[in-house]
Amino acid sequence: MEPITIRDILTAVKGRILGDFDNLDLEISRVETDSRTIHEGSLFVPLIGEQFDGHAYITSALEGGAAACFTQRDRESYLPGKCYIRVDHTQRALRDLAVWYKKKFDIPVVAVTGSVGKTTTKDMVAAVLGEHYKVLKTEGNLNTDIGTCRTLFRLDKSYQIAVLEMGMNHPGEIEVMSAIAQPDVCLITNIGDSHIEHLGSRENILKAKCEIFSHAKPGCLAVLNGDDPLLRTLEGKLPEPILWCGGAPGLDYTADHLVSDGTSNVCCEVKTPHTSCQVEIPALGSHMIYPTLMAAAVAEHFGVTAEEFRRGVLHFAPTKMRMNIIQRGEDITILNDTYNANPQSMRAAVEVLSKTHSGRKIAVLGDMFELGTLAPALHAGIGTYLGKAGIDCLVAVGELAKNIYDAAREAMVPEVHYCATKEEALPVLAQVVKPHATILVKASRGMAFEDLTEYLKSITQEP
């Protein structure tokens, strides 16, 4: 972050100073929301949630080195030399400050949303653009309005373009992020069942995802998945020009001659309106054509050459716990896809497992959350698919995963195990893991299945 003054902050958030602090030229070097990791000279923003109120930590943040803070209420006393800025709403003030700060930098913004593959697409787009530009991107999964602000506060004059991921659980959340980012290019990866418990239908999910366009800049470009039937309904309805990506014939960006080594990569020919080139994608699964093609569309829009695009794809590295390939001794491979799960991503992960060149294919699958009344049927659908995909062994963990187990038994998966908890699964995993196995580990974030990945690493040898 480039330094800003107290005077700048007051202007950006329309705040007023409490107490007798009067050094409006004091410079602030960071904006932080966690009092436990405060840095010297920072602005502390006390957020308020259902279970916490950051105002309780204002004094400790200031004593820990913060130079200033926001507050929604007057204080009984004020630490000398510290700046207290009164605002109506601290989270809204954080957003206002991020919008003001972003305006200091005249760089384009690429915004990415969708039900599945947001983070992978963000990482792929950033990797490709990174061959030509210095790219600021959302780190990890900071895809909320607060995360968007935190990302933008990392801007400095060296960055040339930003790639921001936008997630949501409820309607209106992406609209807020669109207002903060004001994107120049908007990507929607697909429309699936994630958060259908809160939104009621895929049509409502589509509507929520389309909030990404609500504050897009004039002339914004839309890059959409042309194989998604709900996204196809947007044709002719958006004011923005659309580039369509996917496997169907006639789309703007397509992939052909898809070949996988079953171990670490997928190769294909990417065809664009301007050229075609062979690329090696260092990840598994035919679904990887979608982030690659969307990256191709963004790359050409911003003048990235075909050779830079090819190199960028080759340099792609997935975010932690998103189909990370972990090689172990005795020809054992762990597919660590534990960050999150929904029916579409679960099916795609099982497809990856099914196409590996492995002597024993094991799926360790857990609950998928926020599916509402559809949860039993959607879990059962995964169990049925395991049978069709030729998976050798299932270890289902969690209350909802019992539906995967029951359906997998009916689908004649050769070996099936059900465990109510992760603790119950440990001895089962020790029993089923054998040399030459590939093990997929996947569940929703709340299941914290990375614990099982670590256990699998502990019971297998180093390569």
Q: Are residues 181 and 237 in the same domain?
A: yes
Where do we find the tokens 């960050």? 339
Q: What percent of the chain has pLDDT over 90?
A: 95
- If asked whether residues 174 and 81 sit together in one domain, one would say no
Q: What is the pLDDT of residue 140?
A: 81
**Same domain flag for 131 and 179:** yes
Residue range of the domain that includes 196: 105-250+285-304
Output the average pLDDT for the chain: 96
Give yes or no: residues 92 and 109 share one domain. no
DSSP label of 219: T
In the block, tokens 């695009």 appear at: 309
Question: Does 194 have pLDDT greater than 90?
Answer: no
Question: Residue 22 pLDDT more than 90?
Answer: yes
Return the number of other C-beta atoms located less than 10 Å from residue 289's C-beta: 24
Q: How many domains does the chain have?
A: 3
pLDDT the model gives residue 300: 98
Q: In the predicted model, is pLDDT for residue 70 greater than 90?
A: yes
DSSP for residue 435: T
Enumerate the H helices of 132-213 as residue ranges.
Answer: 145-152, 173-181, 196-199, 202-209
pLDDT of residue 383: 98
Q: What is the CA radius of gyration of the chain?
A: 24
Instruction: Indicate if 328 and 446 belong to the same structural domain.
Output: yes
The predicted model gives 95-100 an average pLDDT of 98
Q: Are 353 and 380 in contact (CB under 8 A)?
A: no
Asked, for residue 258, whether it belongs to a domain, the answer is: no
Secondary structure letter of residue 318 according to DSSP = P
CA distance 203 to 169: 15
Residues 127 and 315: beta-carbon distance below 8 Å: yes
- pLDDT for 318: 85
pTM (global) more than 0.85:
yes
pLDDT, tens digit, for every residue of 200-237? Answer: 999 999 999 999 999 999 999 999 999 999 999 999 99
In a domain, 142, yes or no: yes
CATH classification at residue 83: 3.40.1390.10
Q: Are residues 360 and 409 in the same domain?
A: yes
Contact 180, 84 (CB under 8 A): no
Neighbouring CB atoms inside 10 A of 340's CB total 23
In a domain, 266, yes or no: no
Backbone angles phi, psi at 307, to 5 degrees: -70, -40
* CATH number where 440 lies: 3.90.190.20
Q: Mark which of 97, 132, 149 sits at the end of a domain.
A: 97
Structural domain includes residue 166: yes
Do residues 293 and 374 share a domain?
A: no
Are the C-beta atoms of 247 and 289 separated by less than 8 Å? yes
Smallest CA-to-CA distance from 147 within 115, 121, 181 is with 181
Return the CATH number at 229.
Answer: 3.40.1190.10
Of 26-40, 186-200, 285-299, least confident by mean pLDDT is 186-200
Annotated binding site: 114-120
Cα dist. 350→135, 193, 314, 414 in Å?
A: 32, 17, 24, 16
DSSP state of 367: -
**Cα 162 to chain center, whole Å?**
15
Cα 216 from Cα 182, distance rounded (Å): 5
28 and 122 in a single domain? The answer is no
Asked, for residue 364, whether it belongs to a domain, the answer is yes
Measure the CA–CA gap between 195 and 82, rounded to whole angstroms: 42
| pLDDT of 94 higher than 80 | yes
Residues 6+ apart with CB under 8 A from 390: 354, 361
407 CB-side CA count, 13 A: 19
Distance from C-alpha of 226 to C-alpha of 36, rounded to nearest angstrom: 45
One domain, residues 88 and 153: no
Are 305 and 272 a contacting pair, CB within 8 Å?
Answer: no
Reported as type and span, the H/E element at residue 335 is strand 332-336
Helix axis angle, 90-102 relative to 173-181, nearest 10°? 40
Tell how far CA 58 is from the center of its chain.
Answer: 30
Q: How far is CA 374 from CA 55, 168, 199, in A?
A: 40, 19, 12
Binding residues for ATP: 114-120
- pLDDT above 90 (res 298): yes
Measured at the CA of 130, the angle between CA 125 and CA 136, to 5 degrees, comes to: 80
- How far is residue 435 from each of residues 330, 333, 430, measured CA to CA in Å? 5, 9, 12
Last residue of a domain, one of 97, 121, 138: 97
Confidence band (pLDDT; 50, 70, 90) for 268? very high
Does the residue 315 lie in any domain? no
Please say if the pLDDT value at position 195 is more than 90: no
Q: Are residues 243 and 215 in the same domain?
A: yes
Mark which of 97, 121, 141 sits at the end of a domain. Answer: 97
Residue 148 or residue 141, greater confidence: 148
> Does 264 fall in a domain?
no
CA-CA distances (angstroms) from residue 199 to 202, 224, 295, 298, 376? 8, 21, 29, 30, 18
Identify whether residues 290 and 370 lie together within a single domain.
Answer: no
Does residue 441 share a domain with residue 395?
A: yes
Does residue 318 sit within a domain?
no
Residue 284 CA to residue 268 CA, distance in Å, equals 12
